[in-house]
């Protein structure tokens, strides 16, 4: 399996942010005797945090600012 690209991570983050907006506008509704409850906002927030972290990590790597490691000598 190929790794996640920055573009893919950004698209996923955008999708989850849009989902958050939709859920925030209306969590559930009823028509007659039928009702619909939208996705759990805490699940959406967890996905936003995950994809935001992926975007930040991949952006740093793309800019040549990957992980910084310090070596301490005695």
Q: Are 13 and 51 in contact (CB under 8 A)?
A: yes
pLDDT value at 8 more than 90: yes
Q: What percent of the chain has pLDDT over 90?
A: 39
Q: How many domains does the chain fold into? A: 1
Mean pLDDT for the chain overall? 83
Which structural domain, as residue segments, surrounds residue 24?
A: 6-62
In a domain, 74, yes or no: no
Say what the pLDDT of residue 15 is. Answer: 92
Residue 65 CA to residue 43 CA, distance in Å, equals 30
In a domain, 72, yes or no: no
pTM above 0.85, yes or no: no
């Amino acid at each position: 399996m190929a790794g996640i690209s920055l573009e893919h991570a950004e698209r996923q983050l955008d999708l989850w942010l849009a989902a958050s907006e939709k859920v925030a506008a209306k969590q559930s509704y009823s028509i007659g005797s039928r009702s619909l409850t939208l996705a759990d906002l805490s699940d959406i927030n967890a996905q936003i945090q995950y994809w935001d972290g992926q975007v930040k990590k991949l952006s740093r790597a793309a800019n040549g600012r990957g992980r910084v490691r310090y070596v301490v000598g005695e």
